[in-house]
Structure 1
Amino acid sequence: MTGTHYKEEQEQELEVLKSIYPDELEELGEGEFRITVNPEEQDSSAPLVVALRIKYTPTYPEEIPEISLEILEGSLEENEHDNFYNDLTNTARDSIGMAMVFTLLSFLKDSLTTFVIERQEQRKKAEEDRIREEIEAENAKFQGTKVTVASFLEWKENFEREVAEKEKATKSLALIKKEEIRKNKLTGRQLFEQNEELAKSDATFIEEGDVTVDISLFEREVDIESEEEENSVLDLVRSSND
């Protein structure tokens, strides 16, 4: 096949493409053009429009043309762009020997439609998951931690251990206080002798001319009362014997 024949076949294909895509096709130079491709279903929140750019090679269609993708609206990740390009290249290789641009355009449109639908579903699912997590977090504030048999038994064990430790500490403190009280228990006279405030008070009374308190008098009075009680008991015993 001569170069003239390749040229004629390329021109014929281009004329057919112009009739099919009158608004989408834009000629960029001799044997070079691009065609805008919209997916069948569009995502209004994240629209995606691309253009398939074709440049005929000298022996096309006996070899694949130069292919490139241009993003006209929206965006693609690098790996997503590479996947589209590789799929188009493989489709072109399978079509060597025949006019293939229409086949490439149809394949690209179907691929874009599938991609947009899947991405939309993924975004919808991600939003639903986010809302569900927020709801679960809010509910957890009011419901508390879900109780299971294992968690209850663990809580019960910890609770009983804490109660036992508190009781042990309380008993130990009570014993310590009781021992302190026993050791520090004083008689009335000891309290009187050790009470610094009382001693100061007595000194004040003495300085002001009050009668001096003689503790021995109190002791004597107690002894007299004791003797009187003993005599009373003896009298009762004698009377009963008589």
Structure 2
Amino acid sequence: MDYEEEQSAELDTLASIYCDDMEILSAEAPRRVRLTVRSADDDGEERQVWCAMVFEPPLKYPDEPPLLLLEETQNLDDEDQQRLVDHLMSMAEENLGMVMIFTLVAAAQEWLDNKSDELKKVKEEGALKKLRAEEEAEMKRFEGTRVSVESFLAWKTNFEIETGIVLRREKDLKDSRKLTGKELFLRDTTLNESDLKFLDDGNYFLIIMRNCNAVKVDESLFQDVDDLDLSEEDDDCDNYKD
């Protein structure tokens, strides 16, 4: 095999295929060529995965694998870089006896595409996880704190203390112990209203004066007056006298 001729022909072919992505560092043996490989995505230049590889075929290439060096990379950590080199060198061993730089570059392209897809998936899962966390936090805001009997009673006690309800209640209780029944009655106007309401709800309205002789009865308010037994009228009057 004419190694010189094989290497020269391959170099010309690579230059016609990769154009601006290829730079010939040395056209004479040992030849060196620099190729930039990018993932085929449209996620923006900053997020794109790419690397610059330098191939240096030995004198007996392609019966011996070319030397490979990663000069620049983007979005590839050290572990990624080592895995890529190992992958390409494994392929080089499989293609011994044939010019293989084009094959290795194509394999690198596929590997970077897969890596780019992997990074996108991780990014999407992270965004989804963040969104779910935000939604759960929002739901918890509306759910509030679960209340037990104990926690409610504790909250109620603190609330009454903070708002002064306890102090007012104690003061009212203390004041009520000092008031007479008449004073309590006069103080609570609702008692007056309830008595008036009781009288208004009745079917009869009688005005009883302290002097029994002044009692006036509106007999028209009664039905069947003849059936009334008024024989005890005098005795009843005596009960109203002082």
**Once the 2 structures are TM-superposed, how far is the Cα of residue 124 of structure 1 from its aligned partner?**
1.5
* Counterpart contact for 1:42–1:48, Cα < 8 Å: no
1:60 aligned residue: 61
Deviations 1:181-234 (CA, angstroms, capped at 9, x unpaired): xxxxxxxxxxxxxxxxxxxxxxxxxxxxxxxxxxxxxxxxxxxxxxxxxxxxxx
2:71 aligned residue: 70
2:7 is equivalent to residue 10 of structure 1: yes
Runs of 4+ in 1 over 6 A off after TM superposition: none
Deviations 1:76-135 (CA, angstroms, capped at 9, x unpaired): 111111111110110111101100001001111111111112201211110121121022
Secondary structure at the aligned position of 1:62 is classed as coil
The count of aligned residue pairs is 150
RMSD: 2.3
1:175 aligned residue: none
Deviations 1:42-64 (CA, angstroms, capped at 9, x unpaired): 43251222122100111110010
1:103 aligned residue: 103
* Counterpart contact for 1:64–1:93, Cα < 8 Å: yes
1:131 aligned residue: 131
* Counterpart contact for 1:88–1:108, Cα < 8 Å: yes
Higher helix share: 1
Any gaps of 5 or more consecutive residues in structure 1? 163-242
Secondary structure at the aligned position of 2:97 is classed as coil
Larger radius of gyration: 1
TM-score for both structures, normalised by structure 1 = 0.56
**Once the 2 structures are TM-superposed, how far is the Cα of residue 144 of structure 1 from its aligned partner?**
3.2
Q: Percent identity?
A: 30
2:17 aligned residue: 20
Distance 2:42 2:7 in 1: 32
2:208 aligned residue: none
1:193 aligned residue: none
* Counterpart contact for 1:24–1:36, Cα < 8 Å: yes
Q: Which letter does structure 2 place at the counterpart of 1:76?
A: L
TM-score for both structures, normalised by structure 2 = 0.56
